[in-house]
Chains A and B, each alone.
Chain A
């Protein structure tokens, strides 16, 4: 196809859109490493702000990692079996269940958080602990794990594989762990990556559920945006991006389209 003037117009437009998305990321990275952002890059680079963020907020970073990892483990134990059940059963009940489990995607985090507070807010030991945030994160991310595994199960003929294994004498649990789980590996891995990224970045729910002693990274970010100088906020954002970008790259690499064979 000839690349005419329309090609270049569209290219410029696309580049502008990409710049709109990417420029602020770079701005916040440089601001986090600059001595004085108001003077500019000529004031020199420094790790001072990153170190300051670490001393102020390192507990939020550890808590975020802890919650993200435990959420992932729970999602694995609960979500994978659930996806298998939903793929295998086609009844009214399973349809209803599917709907209920997907609902947290559609309901804003705020509403889920309010609901949790209204029911369990009175149990102060639970309310004050990080487990309260964990519960919110599991509710919010579980549907993504289930959907991701379910998509893989629906694309393969797992019944045939299971029948084969059953005819060779494999028990139900043997079939589940040695036939089903290995075959939906890609769905499980992308579900894990999604859970980790979503949990690490969750704010809407967490802001309502957190207490002064249970602050996660995004909560700390909001805190620093409101009260800290721009360089500290930027350095904090930089640390956050450093945490989730590897997950994003891994997810992209996983979802890349297989190159067409010649």
Chain B
């Protein structure tokens, strides 16, 4: 009784000064409004009014833009699928077993998370460029340099590089919450390894896979640095936006394309959030 009265009294004091905390949000509102919302509105305005309002129509009808959009979507889809498979194997392995040096492996897997896209592009050149590891390997094995870096496979390797850490860490988080009693129960009922994986483990991991998959897809869609460093002949969407802006000085087109890109990535991260994932859409 006494305690409750005290709480009410305190609550009143607390409420009386409730107004002041509105002051705290003002700087954030100003920054967000002036340097983010206003520029975004301007982009939307430009994309709708310039070029007689035809920008979005051009994206759907001109093969150059449509091809860029579709190939970026396809590349991101494949990268996401492959990273999810790799991450499921690695993630399940790293959560299920305890062994010496495990923490070192986990650290190795998480370091590349914040490498910028340009550096990852350079790593791809190191691995698969003209003087890279694969080239030396090919020279030693079949007497021919394997150079993958400057083609779509180079982009694929680079995208995989920044996707794997993201997805592995999320899968590990989901796998830690797995109920191993269910697996034991399944095993005692005679299910084999693959049945257990298909019917028990994977369904339990699904929300984590969906959320990390969408984050991975969004990051791949927006990745500019890697494609920029490799300068491949394949025009991924961010590269197309960049060329429209710098070489063709076509602001309206660049605005329309980047808004479409932004809408796709925003949608992916909204899906990820619904599945309870954190929205770590950085890098690339």
Contacts and interface: CB of A to CB of B under 8 A. Distances in A.
A10 B94 CA distance: 9
Given A17-B86, A204-B225, A25 B262 contact: no
User: Which of B7, B96, B112, B221 has its CB near the most chain A CB atoms (within 10 A)?
Assistant: B112
Interface stretch (B62-70, B73-81, B119-127, B139-147): B119-127
B116 A202 contact: yes
B10 A171 contact: no
Interface stretch (A42-50, A55-63, A81-89, A182-190): A81-89
Given A111-B262, A172-B17, A7 B111 contact: no
A91 to B, nearest CB: 11
Interface string A1-44: 10100110011011101101111110110010000011000000
Given A21-B111, A163-B11, A105 B31 contact: no
B35 A107 contact: no
A106 B224 contact: no
Interface string A197-214: 110011110011000000
A203 B242 contact: no
Interface in B259-284: 259, 261-262, 265-266, 268-270, 278-279, 281-284
A104 B218 CA distance: 13
Contact of A198 (B10, B11, B92, B282): B282
Contacts of A221: 116, 118-119, 122
B107 A110 contact: no
B148 to A, nearest CB: 13
A114 B117 contact: no
6 contacts: A104-B36, A105-B269, A108-B238, A166-B14, A166-B17, A222-B225
A135 B118 contact: no
User: Which of A86, A135, A225, A237 has its CB near the most chain B CB atoms (within 10 A)?
Assistant: A225
Interface in A156-173: 159, 162-164, 166-167, 171-173
B127 A23 contact: yes
Contacts of A88: 21
B254 A114 contact: yes
Interface in B8-45: 9-11, 13-14, 17, 20-22, 24-25, 27-29, 31-32, 35-40, 42-43
B249 to A, nearest CB: 12
A138 interface: yes
A142 interface: yes
B222 interface: yes
Contacts of B165: 21
* Tier of interface size on chain B: 35 or more
A73 interface: no
A210 to B, nearest CB: 12
A66 to B, nearest CB: 18
A95 interface: no
Contact of B118 (A11, A77, A139, A203): A203
A115 B43 contact: yes
B10 A139 contact: no
A250 interface: no
Nearest to A17: B90
Given A144-B282, A245-B111, 9 more contacts: A10-B90, A103-B36, A110-B242, A120-B39, A197-B114, A203-B117, A203-B225, A207-B225, A208-B242
